[in-house]
Structure 1
Amino acid sequence: MVTIKDVAAKAGVNPSTVSRVLKNNTSISQKTKERVRKAMQELGYVPNAAAQMLASGLTYNIGLVFPPLVTPDRLSEPFFMRILTTITNEARANDFTVSIAMGESMGEVEEQVKLMHRQKRVDGFIILYSDANDPVRRYLLANNIPFVVVGAPEGFENDITYVNNDNQLMGKTAVTHLYEKGHKKILFVTDDKTSEVAMERYFGYVRGTTKLGIRSHEALLFDRNDPQVLEELIETIHKENPTALIVIGDIVAIRLMQFLSFYNLSVPDDISIITFNNSIYSKLIHPYLTTFDVNISSLGQTSLRHLLEKIKTPAEVHRESVIVPFIFKERESVRNLTKFSQIK
């Protein structure tokens, strides 16, 4: 078995230097760190996890907190699967592992987080949602536990690190794009009116319509399991006769397209759609969805890097609001009405 002494001999340093490199000690130069790590790799050295935990006081494990599973489909959302994969890969590259906290209610999620902390199974948490009344966030703050929120700054803005997209700007950009394509009657559709992401994107929609001098409408709810909600939705669409819809996410957009087809409304011929997240579903069926790529890889990598900074240097103050840029993907689901009017 390769030991620290073997690594030290190959790298030409003292065993204590190797130990400090394993702890990523800032007193060691980058050049020396690289030489020691190269020696580790060449010798096939694997650090003793138990010894590392004893020496550093760390578990080298982080907790990933999912929002409550209020709908059966939430776990299958591409966003959560992609960010889980990104964070897990980034954690592995930093010799950390990932544990998941989830539950069907906020109370269950909170109990999972408390249990993981009491049993000293994690060094910190990444919360994959934003809620002004989140008991998990309050618990972590009260107990001085390192954590980062992937989502909108909603309460305690000066005390917490948030990693997010500019969802209001995305909503506003969606309105502007549709307006430039000749659309004046635009509605906003979501499957959850209470989520911070939905509210931020809706506010952007209102800002966009107000600036352009066109009428906005209260956010419409789409719930495929509630016949009354579906009836109210189609009644509003028939009454308002919109030319375009801004829809909260790709999966909702596809299900909405299927729903509209029952009423002989096709996309984009009868009604255009812009959506968000650029998941694999956005190009699953035709028309391909015009959507916003929220750069999930960057959201995951950035959130983990900031959490590791908090964990490894707890004495330093780490409070930031990080905005990850988005990319607009123009595809087939938006009809250009200006071309149509020019032909007429």
Structure 2
Amino acid sequence: MVTIRDIAKRAGVSVSTASRALNNHPKISQKTKDKIKALADEMGYRPNYNAKNLTNGVSNAIGVVFPPGEMSLATNPFYVDILMGINRELRPRNGVLSVAIANTVAELTANVSALITQGLIRYFVLLYSKKNDPIVKLLREQKVDYVVIGDPNSEDENFVNNNNRLAGQKAGEYMLHKFNAKRTLFVESDPEQGYERQRRLGFQEAMATAKVPTEVLKVTDQGQLQLDDAVAQFLMTRQTIEGIVTTDDTLGVMIYQLLWRQLDRDIPLISFNRNRPNDLLMGSSVRFVELYPQSMGAAAVRVLLDPEKRSEIIPFTIER
């Protein structure tokens, strides 16, 4: 492995001069910088980013914070795709991922605190956005940089998002124009998550404009059998519903399977996010609002590390 000492010997300069040249020190002439960098490239030098950053008192890792809840969140395809996008953008920057995930807010706060104090991590991506979030409070107190994926909760908060309200509106318009639905249902799970609320509001605006009756069903956490039975009972009393929009594809699969297996009904359904294996579980009357989570993950890194960037909006599409 080529070291700075090898480059310094080849260039006929001291090790400290070679190191400063590679790090763009202002006291080193541009001619010397160019010479040292050219030699480094020629000799195949690769800097030890971990050693460099630890010397500076920071890590080259980015902390990724999952919303507090069951550990199964980590296997949600949407989050997995975001992580893939983050990793894709970090790879050429020689950065790595460090994950914070816990069942409770208190455990998650302790986890993030340890990443800051013990892991020396100074950059974080939050895979969610909630008002009065204790994690955000901690990050601000520790003066570390972060970006949220979702709606910002203050004017100075960096974020990456889709235009969820517009996406909800377009999903509603698609349902009306493509399937000619005369009565609709919107299914959500956690309206405290800003993106769910915005999608619902956009959908409701489309229904109100078209004067089409609509309802909202909030699916709460409970045992799967209890949940299936409760939702099935609700749908059995809504025989006039002609179109359903769900706030994510996990709900979409559940609703579609209930309609097909228990109620023997085929109702047009639009689901936010597209986990492609779910295509095999759903019929021809299903559409997806594609949110491109990998692009969101990559954008989060750009917003986090580029001082000129404050936000990115990732476009969506509606497709089969």
TM over 0.5: yes
Contact 1:251 1:281 survives alignment (8 Å): no
Contact 2:232 2:258 survives alignment (8 Å): no
Secondary structure at the residue paired with 2:306?
A: helix
Corresponding position of 2:289 = 292
Contact 2:169 2:204 survives alignment (8 Å): yes
RMSD of aligned alpha carbons: 3.3
**In 2: Cα distance, 1:21 partner to 1:69 partner:** 47
Q: Which letter does structure 2 place at the counterpart of 1:165?
A: N
**In 2: Cα distance, 1:99 partner to 1:3 partner:** 27
TM-score by length of 2: 0.85
Corresponding position of 2:167 = 170
**In 2: Cα distance, 1:57 partner to 1:116 partner:** 13
1:4-38 superposed Cα distances (whole Å, 9 cap, x missing partner) = 3655798999977864675478999xxx9999777
Closer/same/farther in 2, CA of residues 53 and 232 from structure 1, 3 Å limit? closer
* Shift of residue 77, structure 1, vs aligned partner: 0.8
Q: Which letter does structure 2 place at the counterpart of 1:320?
A: R
Q: Which moved more, 1:245-254 or 1:213-222?
A: 213-222
Closer/same/farther in 2, CA of residues 108 and 44 from structure 1, 3 Å limit? same
Mapping 1:309-328, distance limit 5 Å: 309=306, 320-328=310-318
* Shift of residue 214, structure 1, vs aligned partner: 1.4
Corresponding position of 2:66 = 66
**In 1: Cα distance, 2:33 partner to 2:278 partner:** 44
**In 2: Cα distance, 1:147 partner to 1:99 partner:** 14
Q: Which letter does structure 2 place at the counterpart of 1:296?
A: P
Corresponding position of 1:261 = 260
Mapping 1:11-26, distance limit 5 Å: 19=19, 23=23
Closer/same/farther in 2, CA of residues 228 and 95 from structure 1, 3 Å limit? closer
Corresponding position of 1:149 = 148
1:78-122 superposed Cα distances (whole Å, 9 cap, x missing partner) = 011111122123212101111101101111111100111121431
**In 1: Cα distance, 2:261 partner to 2:278 partner:** 21
> Is 1:271 equivalent to 2:267 in the alignment?
yes
Contact 1:68 1:109 survives alignment (8 Å): yes
**In 2: Cα distance, 1:200 partner to 1:237 partner:** 24
Secondary structure at the residue paired with 1:219?
A: strand
Secondary structure at the residue paired with 2:147?
A: strand
Secondary structure at the residue paired with 1:107?
A: helix
Contact 1:282 1:291 survives alignment (8 Å): no
Closer/same/farther in 2, CA of residues 211 and 61 from structure 1, 3 Å limit? same
Mapping 1:76-87, distance limit 5 Å: 76-87=75-86
Corresponding position of 2:74 = 75
* Shift of residue 322, structure 1, vs aligned partner: 2.5
Closer/same/farther in 2, CA of residues 53 and 170 from structure 1, 3 Å limit? same
Contact 2:149 2:159 survives alignment (8 Å): yes
**In 2: Cα distance, 1:257 partner to 1:34 partner:** 62
> Is 1:44 equivalent to 2:69 in the alignment?
no
In structure 1, stretches of 5+ residues that fail to align are 311-317, 332-344
**In 2: Cα distance, 1:33 partner to 1:281 partner:** 51
Q: Which letter does structure 2 place at the counterpart of 1:278?
A: R
Mapping 1:1-344, distance limit 5 Å: 1-4=1-4, 6-7=6-7, 19=19, 23=23, 40-49=40-49, 51-53=51-53, 56-70=56-70, 73-153=72-152, 155=153, 157-181=154-178, 182-221=180-219, 225=223, 229-240=227-238, 241-266=240-265, 270-287=266-283, 289-309=286-306, 320-329=310-319, 331=320
Percent identical pairs in the alignment equals: 30
Q: Which moved more, 1:225-234 or 1:244-253?
A: 225-234
Contact 2:303 2:309 survives alignment (8 Å): no
Closer/same/farther in 2, CA of residues 102 and 51 from structure 1, 3 Å limit? closer
Q: Which letter does structure 2 place at the counterpart of 1:125?
A: F
Task: Report how many aligned residue pairs link the two structures.
Answer: 317
Secondary structure at the residue paired with 1:208?
A: helix
Secondary structure at the residue paired with 2:122?
A: coil
Closer/same/farther in 2, CA of residues 103 and 26 from structure 1, 3 Å limit? farther
**In 1: Cα distance, 2:291 partner to 2:10 partner:** 45
Secondary structure at the residue paired with 1:59?
A: coil
Q: Which letter does structure 2 place at the counterpart of 1:251?
A: T
